[in-house]
């Protein structure tokens, strides 16, 4: 169902004279491993598959590739986010080639959204090749689709990742609602940070889902965790070791700001944040400068508040709740 860009891969192998490669594959694309490995074998390239987690294009396994003396890194399922490379890197985006499942939901979309609506479209990179046809189908049903500009973390217009919805943010004043093709994870991110209604399409499940109720409930929980954080005396500021999530400057600034508020603050480094890693640590609250979705989706697994930088500023009155939620500030500050 996903198209692998083998021509590009062959060219890259030739250009960099690749003999050994580390392959990173997100969970949902693991069934493609044999196809890729078989192809690499025909090119006399030794493949090592990383079975560590691979959450996004921010998460490049350069340490692993170097430790294994790999000549290159194949990163599957995401579009390029980081410009520089520590070892030669190719992104195999694995786009969907058959638009049938997406086209099938066009009627449902029209039913849920209604006619004559101006709709901001966002999608994961997998759906990029099918979107022109989908746009035609929406127009036939009286919907007016718009695509905004590309963002700092996406190389294509219309593509969203869990922490960048520029294609919606950039046109939010012109649309009635937005439609995110991919999963509820991506739809929820848009619904937390845009003021207009958001719908998610999951073409594989044939679902069109309104996301605003879920977003509202999540924001209520975030508000409660911010209140808990206010009483925390000792704070750990987390710095991610993942290359695209490493924000040392932000962590240092937040440490200084919190210390000025009378908190005792330490900097903590971590690669893959799990709840057990926080066991026995002497902190009442944490600041998450790594992937923002850890605070949003995974907070309940942690016993202490895990606040985003924007939420820290909210907790000390340097940002106002009404100016932060449903705005880009929420994920990006
Ligand atoms: S949402 Fe998280 S995992 Fe996804 S690209 Fe952003 S930082 Fe990376």
Alpha-carbon Rg for the chain, nearest whole angstrom, is 21
Token pair belonging to 255: 């440490």
Chain segment 147-185, per-residue pLDDT in tens: 999 999 999 999 999 999 999 999 999 999 999 999 999
| Interval 44-53: pLDDT, tens | 999 999 999 9
Q: How many other CB atoms are there within 10 angstroms of residue 16's CB atom?
A: 15
For residue 180, what are its two tokens?
């995110």
Q: Could you tell me where in the chain the CATH 3.40.50.11840 domains are found?
A: 2-94
Please give the pLDDT value at position 264.
Answer: 98
Nearest-angstrom CA–CA distance, 230 and 51: 39
Residues of the chain with CATH 3.40.50.11850: 100-210
**What are the φ and ψ backbone dihedral angles of 22, each rounded to 5 degrees?**
-100, 135
In the 8-state DSSP scheme, what is residue 4? P
**According to the model, what pLDDT value does residue 149 have?**
95
From the options 1.10.1040.10, 3.40.50.2300, 3.40.50.11840, 3.40.50.10800, give the CATH code of 2-94: 3.40.50.11840
Q: What is the CATH code for 216-332?
A: 3.40.50.11860
Asked if residue 54 has its Cβ within 6 Å of ligand 1, the reply is no
The burial class, CB within 10 Å (0-12 / 13-18 / 19+), for 262 is exposed
| Dihedral sign, Cα of residue 299, residue 305, residue 309, residue 312 | positive
Pocket probe mutation, ligand 1, options 24, 26, 59, 180, max atoms within 8 Å of Cβ: 59
Q: Which pLDDT score is estimated for 115? A: 86
161 lines ligand 1 (CB under 6 A): yes
Cα–Cα separations (whole angstroms), residue 22 to 32, 140, 328: 15, 45, 35
The stretches of 114-235 forming alpha helices (DSSP H) are: 131-140, 166-169, 184-193, 212-230
pLDDT one-digit tens code per residue, 284-329: 999 999 999 999 999 999 989 999 999 999 999 999 999 999 999 9
From residue 18, give the alpha-carbon distance in Å to each of 22, 41, 74, 178.
Answer: 11, 12, 11, 43
Homologous superfamily of the 100-210 domain (CATH): Diphthamide synthesis DPH1/DPH2 domain 2 (3.40.50.11850)
**pLDDT tens track for 224-273:** 999 999 999 999 999 999 999 999 999 999 999 999 999 999 999 999 99
| Protein residue with its CA nearest to atom 7 in ligand 1 | 291
What DSSP string runs through 189-213? Answer: HHHHH-SS-EEEEETTTTEEEE-HH
Q: Of all atoms in ligand 1, which is nearest to the CA of residue 164?
A: 6
CATH 3.40.50.11860 domain position(s) in the chain: 216-332
pLDDT tens per residue across span 85-107: 999 999 999 999 999 999 999 99
Q: So what's the pLDDT on residue 333? A: 83
Question: Helix, strand, coil % (nearest 5) of the chain?
Answer: 40, 20, 35
Residue 1, pLDDT > 90, answer no
């Amino acid at each position: 169902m996903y198209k692998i860009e083998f021509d590009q891969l062959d060219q890259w192998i030739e250009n960099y004279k690749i003999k050994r490669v580390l392959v990173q594959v997100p969970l949902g694309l693991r069934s493609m491993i044999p196809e890729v490995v078989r192809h690499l074998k025909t090119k006399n390239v030794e493949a090592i598959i990383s079975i560590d987690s691979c959450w996004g294009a921010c998460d490049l396994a350069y340490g692993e590739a170097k430790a294994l003396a790999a000549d290159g890194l194949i990163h599957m399922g995401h579009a390029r986010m980081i410009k520089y490379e520590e070892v030669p890197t190719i992104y195999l985006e694995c786009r969907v080639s058959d638009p049938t499942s997406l086209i099938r939901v066009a009627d449902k979309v029209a039913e849920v959204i209604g006619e004559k609506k101006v709709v901001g479209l966002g999608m994961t990179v997998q759906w990029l090749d099918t979107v022109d046809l989908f746009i035609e189908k929406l127009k036939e049903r009286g919907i007016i689709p718009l695509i905004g500009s590309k963002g700092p973390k996406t190389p294509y217009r219309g593509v969203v990742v869990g922490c960048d919805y520029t294609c919606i943010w950039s046109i939010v004043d012109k649309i009635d609602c937005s439609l995110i093709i991919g999963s509820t994870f991506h739809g929820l991110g848009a619904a937390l940070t845009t003021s207009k209604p958001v719908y998610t399409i999951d073409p594989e499940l044939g679902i069109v889902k309104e996301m605003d109720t879920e977003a509202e409930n999540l924001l209520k929980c975030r508000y409660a965790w911010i209140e808990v954080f206010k009483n925390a005396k000792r704070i750990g500021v987390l710095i991610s070791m993942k290359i695209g999530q490493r924000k040392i400057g932000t962590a240092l600034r937040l440490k200084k700001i919190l210390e000025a508020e009378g908190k005792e603050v330490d900097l903590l480094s971590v690669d893959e944040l799990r709840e057990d890693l926080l066991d026995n640590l002497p902190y009442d609250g944490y600041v998450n400068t790594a992937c923002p979705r850890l605070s949003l989706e995974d907070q309940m697994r942690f016993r202490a508040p895990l606040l985003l930088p924007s939420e820290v500023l909210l907790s000390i009155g340097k940002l106002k709740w009404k100016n932060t939620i449903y705005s880009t500030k929420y994920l990006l500050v």
